[in-house]
Amino acid sequence: MPRIFAYIVHQNGVADDSAAELAAAARKVDAGQSPAAVVTGWGAECDAVCESLRASFGEVWKIANESLAYPNAELVRKALVSVLPAGCIVLAPHSHFGTDLSPGLSIKLNAAYVPDVVDIEGADGAALRLVRQEFGGQVSAHVRCDISSGAVVTIRPGAFKPLETAPAGGVVVDKSSTVGALTAGRRYLETIAPETGDVDITKYPVLVSIGRGIQEQENVAIAQDLADALGAAVSCSRPVVDAKWMEKSRQVGSSGQTVKPKVYLACGISGSFQHLAGIKGNPFIVAINKNPKAPIFRVADVGIAADILEFLPELTAKIRER
Amino acid sequence: MEILVCTRRVPDTSENEIEMNGAGNDIERDDLVYSVNEADNYAVEEALEIVERTGGIVTVVTVGGEDDEEILRREMAMGAKNGVLLSDDAFSGADGKGIATILAAFVKKGHYDLILTGVQAEDGAAQVGGMLAAMLDYPFASLVNSIEVAPGKLKIAREIEGGNKEINEIDLPCVLSIQTGINEPRYVGMRGIRQVASVPIPTFGAVELGLNGNAGAAGAKVRRVDYFTAPEGKGAEMLEGSTEAIVDSLIELLKAKGGLN
């Protein structure tokens, strides 16, 4: 089995939650191997991340370079290609950074690429058996990957449970000198925070959240009526924002807001993992969707197979009658 | 600016419920309705808007078979000047790297300033754009949700976590994967599609692209073995009966869970 490396995403000197998930995924590739962490960065923040990872990784490869102070995927890729051994397996989170880095990294390492993996079933010789999802999570797929010249695998955030293991007592190995001057055709300029909207959906204990099933902009009023009757706010999933029917500030999900309501009514929402990533605090989830196979029913507490355009007005009317 | 947009024909999940076939090893394909991958539509619209501002030509390309011509014509009806089909029996069974290899061979035959893909297709892989860029040694950015054109480069925003936008400058030529919502794709009517119905669509195969046999199944390191339905997990308790009965039980549940006073 080739050597396994976990690429660690970090911010402000703290490793991302994905670090422990990658360690768990690595054990599913090869239970007998202690994976190595790879950290790129600069200065005290980079050092602090490396130090913190010693508890969960046997080795922590540090690549410190001033140009890596901000994680520019092209520069990170070049640094990794000059440091990683041929034929290794690299794990990275399937996040906005992972999708920026990993496809190109697989090409430059001449390795196979398997993105957005939700489970790993193990290896048969030079073949790794993995599980992915397609069609927005409606179906799963078994995938075989030839790892004879290495592999880059991105791991869906939240899909692998961190392991409770004894402290690894890892050592930090400084690989910085292997990396020369780095230049990229893409340069980071700044990060712009989202505009705040008219309604702060993070402050509401009850959310009426709408998805593609709302069908038309004028139907948003149907959800607003229910929200008014419940004293709730209307939030939404990505397709509603893409269609410009609601502002971005109303979007729940990894690229939108993170909410922690007590009750979440998912109305006409299929339940992509990016949307579910924005729902925290284990709320009571009611899913209403006319497709009884929608993935949202797997995570909801209560499900109703119905067309929201017919069901929501009935619910609103009954609540108002009380 | 010469812009190439890589597109793909996929089962339309807003028109279909994806179900397993009788044998339980593949999805039921008989009644699927296909359309252009949603994110690719945004990529074509973005290319058209850039060309409207700065001049140039938009070409759409796909790897596939005769059935895939329909999406090229749809995007040509939107305003793309050229459509190109990359098709060969030797391409069947290609993995993501195979598709990127075929596209890279085509890109090298022309000279494009900008190459766009949709952020991802129905398989959620989000891989071809980044691979293509690496093969061409072009810079790459994923999840792009705004583009401003400057001489020799672009100023772009990427959608990162929490609604933040990461602003970058990127040199041309480059490859960008376009996030949905970046624009409002224009409507295409039947009339528009009829107008391009007889425009010839050139087809390039492995020989014309100078590819050996490795772009298809033979060179694929990643292979989907089968589809299956994931275990239900905890699964929702489904409320059933008349609408009135469901509404009544839901109201009781909402009261119990703090959703209604």
Delineate the domains of chain B, giving CATH numbers in brackets.
Answer: 2-219 (3.40.50.620)
Q: Select the CATH number that applies to the domain covering A201-321 from these four: 3.50.50.60, 3.40.50.1220, 3.40.50.1820, 3.30.70.3270.
A: 3.40.50.1220
Tokens 């394909």, residue located: B29
Q: Is the pLDDT of residue A322 over 90?
A: no
Answer whether A114 sits within 8 Å of B222, measured CB to CB. yes
Tens digits of residue pLDDT in B61-113: 999 999 999 999 999 999 999 999 999 999 999 999 999 999 999 999 999 99
Asked, as a colleague might, if the bond just before B173 is cis with ω within 30 of 0, I would say: yes
A280 touches B: beta carbon within 8 Å:
no
Q: Is the pLDDT of residue B32 over 70?
A: yes
Mean per-residue pLDDT, B28-36: 90
Tokens 């073949």, residue located: A127
By the 8 A CB rule, do A46 and A62 touch? yes
Nearest-by-Cβ selection for B225 from A143, A189, A293? A143
Answer whether A103 sits within 8 Å of B96, measured CB to CB. yes
Nearest-Cα distance to chain A for B127, in Å, is 5
Query: pTM, whole model, 2 decimals?
Result: 0.95
Answer whether B234 sits within 8 Å of A102, measured CB to CB. no
Nearest-by-Cβ selection for A99 from B142, B161, B259? B142
Q: What is the ipTM of this complex?
A: 0.95
Residue B45 confidence class, pLDDT cut points 50, 70, 90: very high
Is domain A4-178 classified as CATH 3.40.50.620?
Answer: yes
Residue A143 tokens read as 């995938």
Tokens 């790129």, residue located: A40
Mean per-residue pLDDT, B122-138: 97
Nearest-by-Cβ selection for A187 from B100, B169, B228? B169
Mean per-residue pLDDT, B31-56: 96
Nearest to A140 by CA among A112, A117, A122: A117
Answer whether A116 sits within 8 Å of B124, measured CB to CB. yes
Mean per-residue pLDDT, A184-200: 93
Domain ranges for chain A, please list them.
Answer: 4-178, 201-321
Tens digits of residue pLDDT in A31-82: 999 899 999 999 999 999 999 999 999 999 999 999 999 999 999 999 999 9
Answer whether B17 sits within 8 Å of A297, measured CB to CB. no
